[in-house]
Amino acid sequence: MAVNSELTELYSGIYTDNIRRIREGSTSFLNAFRDAAFDRFTTLGIPTRKNENYKYTNLDLFFRHNYKTYFIPDESDFVKAEEFRCDITDLDTHGVVLLNGFYPTINGKIRTLPGEILIGSLNEASRRFPDLVERHYGKYAKSNSDGLVHLNTAMASDGVFVHVPQGSHLNKPVQVINLVDSTEDVFNQHRNLIIVDDNADLTIIICDHTLSPQKFLTNAVTEIYVGENARFNIIRVQNEHNNACKVTHTFIHQGRNSYSSSNNLTLHGGLVRNNTYHFLGGEGAESSSFGLYLSDKWQHVDNLVSVEHAFPNCTSNQLFKGVLDEMSTGAFNGRIFVDPKAQGTLAYQKNNNILLTDDAKMYTKPQLEIYADDVKCSHGATVGQLDENALFYLQSRGIDKREAKLLLMLGFAHEVIQNIGVEALRERIDNLVMQRLKGELSRCASCMVKCG
């Protein structure tokens, strides 16, 4: 069995115990999805390692635990959220804070920016803009075979909603700060919906912070629609403590001649699993999927990327790199699917890893399914140590071994970091990565958790 029936029962119980309260806090539109999604969840269940996609990730460690579930936050909870400030001073963004998966109430639940761009709470948007939400919600995630996606649909009731109408663009990125803060161990699920219409342009930064040392489990689903000729970039910065588990499912659905990029930067976290699904749903679409993960102690970081070429002449690129220290482990599963009609496909994939100790482990698996003839496809994976020749080259110029290793690791990581289009953030990440690789704790000044 690829399903952990005991755990599935545990989470089914949470659903049954709380569904009444969840329904009360949500719109009938969101509620309409719940029963079917729950059925699907009970069939698919919480994945075990017998499930090929979770072969290297043991969810038991974090899922087998009695969490308090968090449904309706108090007004007072949001004071803390409102006070939170990102400390990257020259990073100019439209900021949004989510607290334990909920959108704060203080400054109105939906903001309208120039160009009729909407940013706000998904729950509120489903009330005020039902047409928009109904056109996209649930569409891109619904056929997924991961039970956790359906658990989210069954129970999530809020998250971030962004709508960029046709031809609109913002002159600065949207920044979503996910705060997890509680005096009890918490399981939270939120749901984001991002709609970038034809010819529009959006960059969104998602920062994950844990503010208290309790055990946390987050299961988040983000659905993104990118219209014809539109451009979309998503950058995730994950910096959570060792007692936190984060599972993300990101669905990017692209139209004709659109471009999207995703960048998952995992700097810290107990167990992180990112599922990134790119659907190239129109001719000439292009997607890039980047990832960088640094791990130590008992941390585990797993990235699953799936790129589906459904139309001709699309281009995709995957670049994931990791530096694993101590007894940490990692996994990368990169899937490229080329539909029989997707002639003229270009698809590339690269996964490079450096293991700093004999105990660190990395599992990497390319998965190519190609059903068209006119396809250019490449993939490569490496797991190794630092290049001895490069190390000697640096030493022969007077750089001591420790510093030389650091330079090489930074250079290795920079190949991913250089793809961050927001300069202030790129510099900060370079900096955080340097601190992390030096063995210092990499955290933003506003981080209140000191996990050594």
Partner 1 sequence: MLVIKNLHAAIEGKKILRGISLEVKPGEIHAIMGPNGSGKSTLAAVLAGRDLAEVTEGSVTYFGRNLLEMAPEDRSREGIFLGFQYPIEIPGVSMVNFLKTAVNEHRKYKGLEPLSASDFLRIMREKKELVDIDSKLANRSVNEGFSGGEKKKNEIFQMAMLEPKLAILDETDSGLDIDALRVVANGVNKLKRPDNSAIVITHYQRLLDYIVPDVVHVLYDGRIVKSAGKELALELEEKGYDWIKKEVDNQN
Question: For binding to partner 1 (CB under 8 A), which residues are involved?
Answer: 387, 389-390, 392-401, 403-404, 407-408, 410-415, 418
CB of 238 to partner 1, least distance (A): 21
CB of 320 to partner 1, least distance (A): 15
CB of 406 to partner 1, least distance (A): 9
**Which alpha helices (H) appear in 214-367, and where do they start and end?**
none
Torsion over CA: 27, 33, 36, 37 (sign): negative
CB of 291 to partner 1, least distance (A): 16
Q: Which is nearer to partner 1, 167 or 411 (CB)?
A: 411
- In one-letter notation, the amino acid at residue 256 is R
Contacts of 42 (CB under 8 A, 6+ apart): 8, 12
Torsion over CA: 129, 134, 135, 139 (sign): positive
Q: Which is nearer to partner 1, 411 or 421 (CB)?
A: 411
C-alpha 10: how far from chain center: 25
In terms of DSSP bridges, do strands 244-254 and 216-226 run parallel, antiparallel, or are they unpaired? parallel
Q: Which is nearer to partner 1, 86 or 433 (CB)?
A: 433
Q: Which is nearer to partner 1, 166 or 419 (CB)?
A: 419
Q: CA dist 209 to 98, 177, 293, 318, 448, Å?
A: 10, 7, 16, 26, 9
CB of 409 to partner 1, least distance (A): 9
CB of 290 to partner 1, least distance (A): 14
Q: Which is nearer to partner 1, 60 or 430 (CB)?
A: 430
CB of 217 to partner 1, least distance (A): 35
Q: Which is nearer to partner 1, 276 or 352 (CB)?
A: 352
In terms of DSSP bridges, do strands 375-384 and 345-355 run parallel, antiparallel, or are they unpaired? parallel
Q: What are phi and psi of 427, to 5 degrees?
A: -65, -40
Q: Which helix (H) or strand (E) holds 380?
A: strand 375-384
Q: Which is nearer to partner 1, 397 or 450 (CB)?
A: 397
CB 262 within 8 A of CB 238: no
Tokens representing residue 339 in the block? 């539909």
CB of 418 to partner 1, least distance (A): 8
Q: Which is nearer to partner 1, 435 or 446 (CB)?
A: 435
CB of 431 to partner 1, least distance (A): 13
CB 226 within 8 A of CB 201: no
Contacts of 390 (CB under 8 A, 6+ apart): 408
Q: Which is nearer to partner 1, 163 or 405 (CB)?
A: 405
CB of 322 to partner 1, least distance (A): 14
Secondary structure (DSSP) of 16-69 = HHHHHHHHHTS-HHHHTTHHHHHHHHHHH-SB-TTSGGGTT--THHHHSS-PEE
Secondary structure (DSSP) of 86-114 = -S-TT---EEEEEETTB--STT-SEEEET
Q: Which is nearer to partner 1, 298 or 393 (CB)?
A: 393
Contacts of 411 (CB under 8 A, 6+ apart): none
Nearest CA-CA partner of 96 in 118, 114, 76: 118
Bridge partners of 265, per DSSP, are 237, 292
CB of 33 to partner 1, least distance (A): 44
Q: Which is nearer to partner 1, 370 or 399 (CB)?
A: 399
